[in-house]
Structure 1
Amino acid sequence: MGLISLLWGVLAVLWMILALIPLLGWGNWFLIPFAAVGAVIGALGILFTHPTKRGRAWTGLILNAVVVVVGIVRLSIGGGVI
């Protein structure tokens, strides 16, 4: 689950970079739920993985959490239209 969360987080970061371009801010409306699902997968990976092998799950959880925060800030600034 840690690897899935990490890959999900990398895709979310790439999508976030694309959504920061003006007139593509509407992508944040889809990005936030996408990254939230990745964060849930990361949290489940942390719960069900041996303590010595949780690095990928933590990294995926943090990546997805950062994407959610940046997406919310971007939506509050531009309303998702611009």
Structure 2
Amino acid sequence: MLNIVSILIGLLSLVIVIPAQIPLLGWANWIALPFVVVGIIIGQLSSTNGGRNFCLVVFAIAVIRLMLGGGLI
């Protein structure tokens, strides 16, 4: 059950992260990061690790985009 919740949180975060890849919308990644961290924590509590791994991929995409944009752009 926790794995499904983690995947749903990851999908919600992915919906925020995808448009944030457009220039000047990088600030939206800061909104998505807390959701992704909660998804990672919930996925860690699950017996399987699919949801956690999905949230880690979304987290990596958001963080790399923030690093490329200098944290804001």
TM-score range relative to shorter protein: 0.7 to 0.9
For the aligned residue pairs, the C-alpha RMSD in angstroms reads 1.3
Q: Per chain length, whose mean CA-contact separation is higher, i.e. which structure has more relative contact order (CA < 8 Å, sep 6+)?
A: 1
Matched pairs, number: 72
Q: Give distance in 1, aligned partners of 2:18 and 2:5.
A: 20
Paired residue for 2:62?
Answer: 71
Q: Which has the larger radius of gyration?
A: 1
1:44 aligns with 2:45: yes
* Structure 2 length-normalised TM: 0.86
Q: Could you list the runs of 5+ residues in structure 2 that have no partner in the other structure?
A: none
> How is 1:1-80 mapped onto 2 (pairs within 5 angstroms)?
1-46=2-47, 54=48, 58-80=49-71
Whose helix proportion is higher, 1 or 2?
Answer: 1
Q: 1:36 deviation in Å?
A: 0.9
How far residue 65 of structure 1 moved from its aligned partner, in angstroms, is 0.3
Letter in 1 for 2:53: I
Q: Percent identity?
A: 42
